[in-house]
Structures are given as structure tokens and as C-alpha cells.
Structure 1
Amino acid sequence: MKSLKVITQIAASAMLLFAAAQPALAAQDPTGSKQTTYPGISSDALEKFGGEAGVHNWVEALFYYIMLDNRINKIFIEHGNVARQIALNTQLEQMVLGGAVQYEGASMSAAHADLGITLTQFNAVVEAAYNACERVNTPYSVCNQLIAALAPFERSIVTR
């Protein structure tokens, strides 16, 4: 179990380095038909995730692991409606993967400003994300694309 945590931390650090060099999320294309995928994400990533239903299942698995983890579960329980967080995270992940959805939540900075999130807590969510990939049988190559795309949010989420 300890080796899994070390591997997860190394992977998260590598993804942060990779993702830090990437520009912000691309704007919706002029036709309005499909969100452009984040740089570094394959055009079929959403399909490989199982489409919208697959992303939703992954987010539910993510929150399953978050709620089991005493390092982070209190933050999610005390500071918001978990069902709404699942819905907003599903929108965000679908958008990042190129889905034609509109994210309706607050900016990452606004949503996390008063929470005092530490890097350890952020990394615990990354660990939960990998556990969710295993739970819903999402290949790591696909999971890594999403997690790398979300990694730049660390600068907006970690405030302590």
C-alpha cells in the first residue's frame, strides 16, 4: 500500500510538471457543437471514458473514495452538497475531455478560496482519482490524460 502512495505521488508530481506547461482550457468551437479537448488529450478520450455515462460513473467512484478518506472527506461534507459536487465535477470532466457540456460551477479559485486546502489534501484527491479509474476499469493511459489536464487547478485549489 505504501508503494502505491509513492507511485501516486510521483505520478501526480509528473502530471503537475506536464500540465503546468499547458495553456488553459480551449474555448468552445465556433459552431458550438463540441468542446475542444484540452491540449494533450486525445480526441477520442471522452469515448474511451465511456461517454457521458462513463465520466459520471468515474466521478461517482471518485467521490466514493473521497468519502472513505479521512484526510479529505470532512472538507467535502462540511463545505457543500455532495450530490451537487458530483454533478459539477461530471460537467467539468466531460468538458475537459471534449464533451459538449457547459460547466456551471464557480471558478476553481472561488470554489476553494476559503477551504484552506493543503497539497497533501490535493494529492489525496489525485489518489482517489486513480482508485476510481481502477474501480470503473478506465485504462490508466486515458485516466492520466484527464488527471494531467486537471493538475493545473492545483494552483487555484491549494491555498495553504
Structure 2
Amino acid sequence: MEIFMKVFTKKLFAGAALSIAAMSSAPSFAGENPTSPIMGIPASSLEEFGGREGVRAWVESLFYYIMLDNRIAPIFREFGNPERQIFLNTQLETMVLGGPNEYQGASMSAAHADLGITMTQFNAVVEAAYNACERNVIKYHTCNQLINALAPFTADIVTR
């Protein structure tokens, strides 16, 4: 899995600038204006996740698996507020999938700068993401689209 992720992320760095530009558009204060999905994500992906509620269920499952994994749970326990992280990740993933741009969190680099995340820990979160997809009966290709869209942030998250 680790070798796959190294190859996978290297191929996706070319799209990082486009992804970051899409992620930094002005927020919608009404919360009703959909954004365009990140390049390469079909407009149907948010619906395939079950809309905002489905994304929230997926994020809750993601954190369930994260907290079970001794490779990464200590970081989230020490530095995180799981409820806030679930809230912000639901906003972020909903936006990436084409929902409203309501993301209120810090940039990926600012949020992870002092955590000393390794590639092994990053890969553990990716594993948790796929487990969350299975738990929520989200098709593999749909799950993969979201993970592909987030992969360009690897360099902002992995700092060690």
C-alpha cells in the first residue's frame, strides 16, 4: 500500500495547483451555492456519497477508524478536537465533491505544520478512508475520486 501511495501521490502533484485554486475560492455564506467539484470529480459524486449527510457519516466513520489505529490515533488525541475535525472535514469533503464552499478551517499546510506527520501515518489515514467507504457502502471508484482529489495535499500534510 505504501508503494502504491508514493506512486499515486507523485502522479497527482501536477494537479495540486488546480486543486488549491479551486479550494480557495470565496466561501458561500448562505451555504446554498454549490461549487464545482474539484477537477476530475464527476458532478454526481456528492450524490453518490449520500449528499452532505452521507459525507458526514463517512467522516464520522473515518475518525472511528483513525481512533482505532495506534499509528495515528495518538496524534489526533494529543493535537485534535475530534468533533471540530469531523465538522471541518465534512465541510471540506462536501466542497471537494461539489457542495457548498463553507470550509472554515485552516489551510492544509497550516493545520498540519507542527504535527510532524510521516508518510506512514498519512497512508494510515488513507487506509481509514477506504475502510470508511466500505462501512458506508460507498463504491470504490467514488471513494477513490475523493481520495484522488485530496492527494495533492500530501506535501502540505507530510512534514517529516
Separation in 2 of the partners of 1:12 and 1:46? Answer: 24
Aligned to 1:24: 19
Asked if 2 retains the 8 angstrom alpha-carbon contact of 1:133 and 1:139, the reply is yes
Deviation at 1:101, TM superposition (A): 3.3
Separation in 2 of the partners of 1:134 and 1:11? Answer: 19
- For this pair of structures, how many residues does the alignment match? 152
Aligned to 2:105: 105
Q: Residue 55 of structure 2 aligns to which amino acid in structure 1?
A: V
Q: Secondary structure at the match of 2:91?
A: helix
Separation in 1 of the partners of 2:4 and 2:58? Answer: 19
Aligned to 1:135: 135
Question: Which of structure 1's runs of 4+ aligned residues deviate more than 6 A?
Answer: none
Asked if 1 retains the 8 angstrom alpha-carbon contact of 2:19 and 2:149, the reply is no
* 1:82-101 equivalent positions in 2, closer than 5 A: 82-101=82-101
CA 1:40/1:151 → structure 2, altered by over 3 Å: closer, same or farther? same
- Give TM-score scaled by structure 1 length: 0.88
- Provide Cα deviations, 1:101-125, integer angstroms capped at 9, x if missing partner: 3100011111111100001000000
- Give TM-score scaled by structure 2 length: 0.88
- Provide Cα deviations, 1:86-115, integer angstroms capped at 9, x if missing partner: 100000000100001310001111111110
Unmatched 5+ stretches in structure 1: 1-5
Asked if 2 retains the 8 angstrom alpha-carbon contact of 1:35 and 1:100, the reply is yes
Per mean C-alpha deviation after superposition, the further-off stretch among 19-28 and 92-101 is: 19-28
Aligned to 1:3: none
Q: What RMSD, in angstroms, separates the aligned Cα atoms of the two structures?
A: 1.9
- Provide Cα deviations, 1:31-67, integer angstroms capped at 9, x if missing partner: x821111011001110011000000000000000000
Deviation at 1:15, TM superposition (A): 3.5
